[in-house]
Amino acid sequence: MKISEIIKLSNEKLKNIEYVDPTREAIEIISHVLLADENEILLSNDLEINDNDLEEIKDLIELRSSGEPLQYVLNRAYFYNRKFYIDNRALIPRYDTEHLLYRTLEISKDFKNPDILEVGAGSGAISITLNLELENARIEACDISNDALEVCNINQELHNSDVNFFYSDLFGNVVKKYDIIISNPPYIKKSDLSLIPKETLKEPLNALDGGEDGLDFYKEITKESIDYLKDGGYLIYEIGFDEAYDVYEIMNKYEFKNINIDKDFQNLDRVIYGKKG
Ligand code: GLN
């Protein structure tokens, strides 16, 4: 079978999946299996694929056509220009979440040797990126999911990073105080879970479900963070596009100062942060 024929097949198979560019995805799948550059594939329409590779490519297209996100099919996701391992044990790193990273990098400049804790590490992409970007920081990250922590450890090895990952139900096993606490907690309202794309439902529900009003984790983390932040320390969150007002109120209630909001590239509220007064 030629590459052009595989692309045709992929278009046929993936036409019923939401939010997909089947040609683009076929090229990503083919280049993954052939260990080839995507540009090379684009220039090789007539290349014949051998039977072994063809079988693998067809299996991956089949898996994708069942609604499995491409990142899980290919076991990779990109975050801040780095490649991370991913599978369905952890939430797929989102491009939008880079805003949480930008703000954390910026606030870190206020500290000589910032001690940073991430609550809810997921794949580990945020904490590992912070570790690689910030020479003078010490990064720790916890998660309630041992499955997710296994993915963190795979990524830690891939990037040769030095994050202290540990198991904890929110602050349950946290024993010290930090300069900066960050989190991209589950924040989707329970009633909205039925509206999100089917593909997103292939991701761990406990990384998405924020309770009745989507705010369960902001309430709990903000309240508890007071005991685990040094004076003058910062709390930084990713938030859902319509949650800024509510999370502002929660942070205000616990007397955080200088509360500010960052917008994402779609001009939606995406990050909120404040200083322990
Ligand atoms: N931004 C994610 C989504 O809407 C939600 C992630 C989260 O709950 N932290 O798919």
Instruction: State pLDDT tens for residues 193-237.
Output: 999 988 899 999 999 999 999 999 999 999 999 999 999 999 999
Indicate the angle between helix axes 3-14 and 51-65, nearest 10 degrees: 20
The reported pLDDT for the residue numbered 6 is 92
The reported pLDDT for the residue numbered 81 is 96
Does 132 lie in the same domain as 108?
A: yes
CA distance linking residue 264 with residue 35, whole number of Å: 34
Does 35 lie in the same domain as 120?
A: no
Q: What is the mean pLDDT of residues 85-92?
A: 98
Residue 235: beta bridge partners?
181, 274
239 C-beta closer than 6 A to ligand 1 = no
**Mean of the per-residue pLDDT values for the chain?**
95
CA distance linking residue 98 with residue 185, whole number of Å: 14
100 C-beta closer than 6 A to ligand 1 = no
Q: Is residue 23 part of a domain?
A: yes
Who has greater pLDDT, 3 or 277? 3
Does 112 lie in the same domain as 205?
A: yes
Does 115 lie in the same domain as 28?
A: no
Does 90 lie in the same domain as 37?
A: no
Q: Is residue 72 part of a domain?
A: no
Does 87 lie in the same domain as 153?
A: yes
What's the pLDDT tens digit per position in 56-88?
Answer: 999 999 999 999 999 999 999 999 999 999 999
CA distances in angstroms from 237 to 39, 62, 240, listed in the order given: 38, 37, 10
**pTM, rounded to two decimals:** 0.94
Tokens 């406990």 sit on residue:
206
CATH code of 156's domain: 3.40.50.150
* Number of domain units in the chain: 2
The residue from 39, 66, 93 where one domain ends is 66
Alpha helices in 143-259 (DSSP H): 146-159, 216-228, 244-253
Dihedral of alpha carbons 25, 29, 31, 32, sign: positive
Does 105 lie in the same domain as 49?
A: no
Residue 78: beta bridge partners?
83
CA distance linking residue 250 with residue 93, whole number of Å: 26
Provide the 10 A C-beta neighbour count for residue 269: 18
Does 13 lie in the same domain as 61?
A: yes
The residue from 13, 47, 66 where one domain ends is 66
Tokens 């090895």 sit on residue:
157
Probe target for ligand 1 pocket from 18, 71, 92, 94, with the most ligand atoms within 8 Å of CB? 94
Please give the distance, rounded to the nearest whole angstrom, from the Cα atom of residue 125 to the centre of ligand 1: 15
* Residue 245 reports pLDDT greater than 80: yes
Question: Which residue segment(s) compose the domain that 148 sits in?
Answer: 77-276
| % of the chain with per-residue pLDDT over 70 | 99
